[in-house]
Structure formats: C-alpha cells, structure tokens
C-alpha cells in the first residue's frame, strides 16, 4: 500500500506543470541548469517533481524550509541521476537542511593520512545508510553558484547514497554489467593509489584519499563541476564516471562555453 501511494503521488506530481518561477530560480541560482539542453531540462524537471513529493524534508537547528530550498537541493541531487533510473535513490528517505556548518560528535577519518578523531568536527554535509542526507544550506548555494571551485556538498552526499546502493560503502556503486564494474574498480583503484602517493596532480581534492567512498564522492563533484579539466587530467577516470552516470559532462560544459 505504501509503494502504491508513493507511485500515485509521483503520477500526480508529473501531471502538474513545472512552474515558471521554479525555472527562473534554477536559471538564476544553479549554474548547471544553464548548461543543460531542452531535453535534459525536461528530464530534470520530471525527476525534481517526483523527488519533491517522494521524500521527507526537515529543517533543523532552527532552519525554516522554503520551496526554494527544496527546489535547489532537489535539482542538484537529481542532476546526478539524470541518466539513471529514478530508483537509484531508493535509499534516500529524507533530507535534513541546516543553515550552515554543523558540529557533530563521532569518529571520523581526517585527510589522506587517515588521522582518526573522535572530537566534535565541523561538517557541511553527511549521509548515513539508514538515516537522512544532511545538507548545510549556505554550502549548497555556494556550490550551485560556483562550479568552477569544484566543491558541491549536494553532489558529494548524494554520491554517497548511490555508493550505498549495494549495502557497502566502498566507492563502487551498483553496476548491472560485471565488465563495467570491473573496469570501474581497476580505474578507480589506480587513480586512488596515485592520489594517496601524491602522484595524481592537484585537480582532485586530497580528501578523496581518505577512503574509496570519499574518493567516489569527490570524483563525482569534479566530474560535474570541472569535467573538462578531469577529462584532460584523468581520462580513464572521466570515462568510467561518464559511463556510470550516462552523462558526458565535458561535452555539456563545452557546449555551454560555446553558447556564451
């Protein structure tokens, strides 16, 4: 019954027109929206409409949720699955939004040297297997406006949820094709090792060297935000990300540059 209710909610959402004011907000505040062609925008609009009604949303630490907050986070999250099945986010049950950086207690690995701390640490996002995706709103809006910086907390945390799809956080999301999965493992393991050894250049954030799960999340940020640079610096890594996400983000970025 719950599944039928969710499907019904999605159908109703898709029957409603995508508001023009939402398009204006995306055009104003999300650079990647401007990079999409008409077909891609139409697909993203459908995903966003379903995502908005299909998840629980909660503001924490006194944060007040608005339609703009839900819309922008949904659009960035759904960009990752633009070429995937909507059910790729089956583990995303609710989203918590805080106004800014959060301080959390726990045990964390910090940096490539795997320094472990159980002190309270500052986080702009967090994804847990059975819990919410937590996002700091100020970091999310900064990432939406400035993809050239290569950091987007929404892409990072929702990449973690894709990684969790097979029940293991190991930097390898779900693949239907065994050969594609093995190529992913071979390429990512090689680049991860070179990053840990200081041989991977400066494009990928060093945080990618903490563990394979963080490597996938950081690589995802770079794939969407700095795709042309990633294709040039790490063509094999770019290739497996392109094949997994089923999006040629470098071609999209070149098209956007040519339209300026």
The domain of 87 spans 2-258
Of 69, 22, 46, 78, the closest CA to residue 224 belongs to 78
Q: Can you name the residues that pair with 108 across neighbouring β-strands?
A: 117
Burial of 230 by CB count in 10 Å (0-12 exposed, 13-18 middle, 19+ buried)?
buried
Cα distance between residue 25 and residue 41, in whole Å: 14
Which residues are CB-neighbours of 15 under 8 A, at least 6 positions away? none
Inter-residue contact 212 to 170 (CB < 8 Å): yes
Considering only the C-alpha atoms of the chain, give the largest distance between any 2 of them, rounded to a whole number of Å.
53
- Total number of domains constituting the chain: 1
CATH number at residue 51: 3.40.390.10
Q: Can you give the pLDDT of all 260 residues of the chain as single tens digits?
A: 455 688 888 889 889 999 999 999 999 999 999 999 999 999 999 999 999 999 999 999 899 999 999 999 999 999 999 999 999 999 999 999 999 987 765 544 444 434 444 555 678 899 988 899 999 999 999 999 999 999 999 999 999 999 999 999 999 999 999 999 999 999 999 999 999 999 999 999 999 999 999 999 999 999 999 999 999 999 999 999 999 999 999 999 999 988 76
Distances, alpha carbon 196 to alpha carbons 140, 200, 258, in Å: 28, 8, 36
**212 contact partners, CB below 8 Å, separation of at least 6:** 170, 171, 172, 188, 189, 192
pTM for the predicted model, two decimal places: 0.92
Residues in the chain: 260
């Amino acid at each position: 019954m719950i599944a039928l209710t969710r499907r019904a909610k999605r159908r109703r959402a898709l029957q409603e027109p995508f508001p023009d004011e939402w398009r204006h907000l995306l055009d104003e505040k999300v650079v990647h929206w401007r990079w999409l062609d008409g077909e891609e925008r139409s697909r993203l609009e459908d995903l966003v409409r379903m995502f908005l009604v299909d998840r629980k949303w909660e503001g924490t630490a006194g944060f007040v949720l608005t339609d703009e907050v839900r819309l922008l986070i949904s659009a960035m999250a759904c960009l990752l699955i633009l070429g995937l099945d909507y059910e790729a986010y089956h583990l995303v049950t609710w989203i918590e939004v805080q106004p800014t950086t959060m301080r959390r207690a726990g045990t964390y690995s910090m940096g490539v040297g795997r320094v472990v701390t159980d002190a309270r640490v500052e986080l702009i996002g967090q994804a847990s297997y059975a819990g919410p995706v937590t996002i700091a709103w100020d970091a999310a809006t900064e990432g939406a406006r400035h993809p050239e910086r290569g950091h987007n907390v929404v892409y990072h945390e929702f990449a973690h949820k894709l990684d969790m799809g097979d029940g293991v956080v190991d930097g390898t999301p779900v693949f239907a094709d065994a050969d594609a999965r093995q190529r992913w493992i071979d390429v990512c393991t090689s680049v991860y090792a070179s990053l840990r050894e200081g041989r991977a250049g400066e494009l990928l954030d060093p945080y990618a060297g903490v563990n394979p799960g963080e490597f996938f999340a950081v690589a995802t940020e770079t794939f969407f935000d700095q795709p042309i640079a990633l294709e040039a610096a790490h063509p094999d890594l770019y290739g497996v990300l392109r094949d997994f996400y089923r999006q040629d983000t470098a071609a999209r970025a070149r098209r956007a540059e040519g339209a300026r």
